[in-house]
Homo-oligomer: A and B are copies of this chain.
Amino acid sequence: MPAHHPVSSPSGRPTIEDVARLAGVSRGTVSRAINGGRHVRPAVMAEVQRAIDILGYSVNPAARSLASGRTGSVAFVLSERQEHLFEDPNFGLFVRVFSRELRRRGRHLLVTAAEGKDEELFLGDYLTGGHVDGALLTLPHAREPLLERLRASGLPVVVLGEPLGHQEALSWVAIDDEGAAEEIVRYLAAKGRSSIATITGPLNTSSGRRRYEGYRRVVGRRYRKDLVAHGDWSSHSGRAATEQLLARGTTFDALFCASDRMAVGAIAALREAGLGVPDDVAVAGFDDSVAATMVEPALTTVRIPFEESAMEAVRILEGLLDKTITEPRRVLLPSKLVVRDSA
């Protein structure tokens, strides 16, 4: 709660000068005191703090930024269509973890969004224009021009998810989609399932591609084109893809879905076709989302370490900002198989 005492500055808001005068020290000392207090005697520190409290002083961010060359802010950039974003529960988690972790390090999080070309240009101007010290990005689609622009600007940036086409030039943290897919498909095989179908995610996304690659690797030479259908992560698409598989007349005793939501749709479609889960067809999902336990039978799936990846992203960004990290850093986090009833 700021105190409301008269201040000497004509501007209305007290400045560092006012604090210095009241504390009987110089401007420089006050500056040091409010920036960690190195090289300041405890007694002086206390005196400065007292003056700050009395005056209700708080630093002018513009002045600090102008003098120091940094802003203390980091942007969380959303470049997907917003309707989708805000439906994503992970998004809220990211915001929460980022805020918390950055605050611990004395920084602020700004959430910024752009949909469409114009807004992306505008956002690029903003990010490279000196408003923030760095940025955390989620980029679900490949070939983002914004990415190239940020890379060229030299702004410290960490991408959540693998930035297709920029894997070498940027820092990023992603989960090991391929490894996780391998693990769960291998699990299905180990359960004695011999013909394993799959419903992939969009293949122009990194996760969609990688999970499919994991599936292919395990299936190996038993791969058959007619055991593969494609979806867009949604439950609806999972249902449609399953109906498509069934319509082909192909038989299969296991189905690996690249998302829980698609698995939910798949189960509904299998049921309608008179097939039992997991007896006739074992179904596996991916994500361990809320959907996983809401459906009957509960999904065998893969848990993704979202919180850890958010924390890791902040850690890397911090390193980039304080120059402890100078080369692009890439981190692949392992996920964990969660066995329930559907497979």
Q: Which residues of A contact B (CB under 8 A)?
A: 1-2, 13, 58-63, 65-66, 71, 82-83, 85-89, 91-92, 95-96, 99, 103, 108-113, 115, 119, 122, 125-126, 128-131, 149, 153
Contacts and interface: CB of A to CB of B under 8 A. Distances in A.
How many of these chains are in the complex?
Answer: 2
A103 B122 contact: yes
A35 to B, nearest CB: 16
7 contacts: A58-B128, A61-B130, A66-B66, A87-B89, A108-B112, A110-B111, A110-B112
Contacts of A92: 82-83, 85-87
A71 B71 CA distance: 13
B113 A95 contact: yes
A66 B58 contact: no
9 nearest interchain CB pairs?
A62-B65, A111-B111, A86-B92, A62-B66, A82-B92, A110-B110, A58-B129, A62-B62, A63-B66
B110 A60 contact: no
A113 B99 contact: yes
A110 B127 CA distance: 12
Contacts of A58: 125, 128-130
A122 to B, nearest CB: 6
Given A83-B92, A85-B92, A111-B110, A62 B99 contact: no
